[in-house]
Amino acid sequence: MKGSFTRPVCETPGCGRPSRFNPYAVVRQNSRWCEPCRNRWRRWGDPRQSVLQMKALIPIVRKVLGVIERDRTTKIAAGASQLCLNLRDHVEEVLADLERGQTVWRWTDRACREILRCLRENEPVKCAAVAGALFLLRERAPRTFVSEEAWVHTFVRSWRKMLSDTAVGSYWDHREQKVHKVYKELPWQVVQNMGQLLITTFAPLGARLILLEQRRRGKLGQEAVKQSLDAGFEDLLKSKRKKGPSPNRYVPTQQHKQRMSESIKRWWSQRKLAQKKS
Ligand SMILES: [Zn+2]
């Protein structure tokens, strides 16, 4: 590009645009990217992260809700609700501190307000189920999230999108004659704060759901794999090896033997002819 020879190229693989240029800025991680990649980083936590569509998440949410319903002891539902109540207590304490005049970081304040809004609008079980579904999705398709930061951002975005009506706005498109929905972005720091709170709160539920799925799928843990290998080798040592030829040895058929003898005879006659000529 003309005039861009002094600028380094954006670090996103396959981007190729010149990186953002600001001679007065402190060189930081995000100054290695171009402006579009920087916007993507702010929105998704990583410029390489792609959109997580709700149609991929909704079936898993239904599945988690089904698991909670099928539990006869109703302890899963009680535990999930308790996680939400704990989170709500913490968030309300932070907001009460703010009202009393204590110093609270601005981004923490906004993150707490956003979480409280989602918790008020929905039932606690649903809030927990959506979070659990996101953990399950990460277990099923780990490549959906390109990095840890992208995971945090996508988690917060999807959780908020599913639970808050105010997180999504809409506008009328005159050209296409239909309503378009738009997600209302939060500042990067707010998302980080929300992500920390949400992931630490719902991690116990997510871990149990992942374990349940792994057991159902028959995917054994490291210890179980060792045990099954040991049992197999023990059995081999106990059983005596049979004498005689191996069952896997190739036994030539009558047809094969005949063909072999014919080819040997042919070769022998050809050799004799060659000796006579010489
Ligand atoms: Zn770029």
pLDDT tens, residue by residue, 170-207:
999 999 999 998 999 999 999 999 999 999 999 999 99
Distance 71 CA to ligand 1 centre (A): 48
From residue 46, give the alpha-carbon distance in Å to each of 13, 29, 56, 254.
12, 12, 20, 68
- Give ion ligand 1 contacts, CB < 5 A: 10, 12, 15, 17, 34, 37
Query: What is the residue whose two structure tokens read 């995971």?
Result: 151
**Residue from 43, 194, 1 nearest 30 by CA:** 43
- Taking residues 5-9, report their average pLDDT: 70
pLDDT of residue 269: 92
Express each pLDDT in 212-258 by its tens digit. Answer: 888 887 765 667 778 888 888 888 888 776 677 777 777 888 888 99
CA separation for the pair 105, 3 (Å, rounded): 42
| Residues 111, 194 contacting (CB under 8 angstroms) | yes
pLDDT of residue 235: 82
From residue 235, give the alpha-carbon distance in Å to each of 120, 228, 232.
59, 11, 5
Tokens read off for 178: 């239909």
Express each pLDDT in 128-166 by its tens digit. Answer: 999 999 999 999 998 999 999 999 999 999 999 999 888
Distance 171 CA to ligand 1 centre (A): 29
Distance 239 CA to ligand 1 centre (A): 63
CA separation for the pair 81, 84 (Å, rounded): 5
